Amino acid sequence: MNLAETTAVVTGSSSGIGLAVCRALLDAGASVYGLSRRETALDHERFRWLQTDVTIETEIDRAFEAVFAERGRVELLVNNAGFGFFRDIELIDPAEWRKLIDTNLTAMFLCSRKVVPSMKAAGCGMIVNVGSVAGKRGIKGGTAYCASKFAVNGFSESLMEELREFGIRVACVNPGSVMTEFFDHAGIEPKKFMQPGDLARLIVSLVELPDTMLPGDVTVRPL
Ligand SMILES: NC(=O)c1ccc[n+]([C@@H]2O[C@H](COP(=O)([O-])OP(=O)(O)OC[C@H]3O[C@@H](n4cnc5c(N)ncnc54)[C@H](OP(=O)(O)O)[C@@H]3O)[C@@H](O)[C@H]2O)c1
């Protein structure tokens, strides 16, 4: 996909990986809509922040209505919004569990279903989902987070198989630790990190592959 003059939506745009992806997409020439609860501090003529809590379906509806009203289409969706906590199961409140699943998984479903009809009509498009290495193997204390990210992998692979015949590509990027605000609240402290800008470059390079190439699932860790 040539990003110049394409329209992209990035969830979780206010910090970390999502903010870096917005910057990288703008550098590549895309028009970018960022969805987050806190303001996304990006001053660029091709960027617009739409205040959105992705756990609230009506807010997602409103955001995509605004994008389609202005642009008529979305070529790229990056489902990135998410958070994690690592804690013994008896210390996890059911409301926290539901909020994590709503944010990391259900929002991905709700946002994807908004863009698929216009991508099918165009016969092209791409959805990139941000999973995690925690979606590949279980981690002590990670019942909620790993469950959500394993599900993100299953969701992504199924959607990839569903949409490839329409010319739409679905990829799932599974990073190890990235230096972001994620670890301010996660309750774990990794020893090695990647940088969000490098993750963003990886995501943009997948998007920029020839449309005939379908990157499925990409796992990347700090060396
Ligand atoms: N950092 C890592 O090591 C790592 C590794 C693997 C995967 N990941 C994944 O990468 C993604 C981005 O995380 P990050 O590391 O960049 O952390 P981050 O800096 O904390 O960013 C998380 C983003 O998600 C947004 N978000 C959270 N809840 C939201 C909600 N209800 N509605 C809208 N936006 C919401 C936040 O925006 P607001 O707070 O403004 O709403 C923020 O922009 C997550 O899916 C995370 O699981 C991170």
How far is 93 from 36, CA to CA, in rounded Å? Answer: 24
Residue 95 covered by a domain:
yes
In the chain, how many domains are there? Answer: 1
Residues 6+ apart with CB under 8 A from 171: 126, 127, 128, 129, 156, 160, 206, 214, 215, 216, 217, 218
**Residue 145 appears among annotated catalytic residues:** yes
Nearest to 202 by CA among 8, 4, 79, 20: 20
pLDDT tens across 143-185, in order? 999 999 999 999 999 999 999 999 999 999 999 999 999 999 9
What tokens were used for 49?
């922040």
Q: What is the pLDDT of residue 5?
A: 87
Distance 58 CA to ligand 1 centre (A): 20
Q: Within 6 Å (CB) of ligand 1, which residues are found? A: 11-18, 36-38, 52-55, 80-84, 103-104, 130, 132, 175, 177-178, 180-182
Residue 2 covered by a domain:
no
pLDDT tens across 184-215, in order? 999 999 999 999 999 999 999 999 999 999 99
Task: Give the range of the structural domain holding residue 139, as residue numbers without chain letter.
Answer: 7-220
CB 36 within 8 A of CB 28: no
pLDDT tens across 99-147, in order? 999 999 999 999 999 999 999 999 999 999 999 999 999 999 999 999 9
CB 76 within 8 A of CB 30: yes
Which of 58, 130, 152 most suits a substitution to test ligand 1, by most atoms within 8 Å of the C-beta? 130
In CATH, what number is assigned to the domain containing residue 139? 3.40.50.720
How far is 203 from 206, CA to CA, in rounded Å? Answer: 5
Residue 181 covered by a domain:
yes
Residue 79 covered by a domain:
yes
CA distances from 50 to 23, 27, 45, 65, 159 (A): 16, 20, 14, 11, 26
CB 87 within 8 A of CB 71: no
Q: What is the pLDDT of residue 89?
A: 98
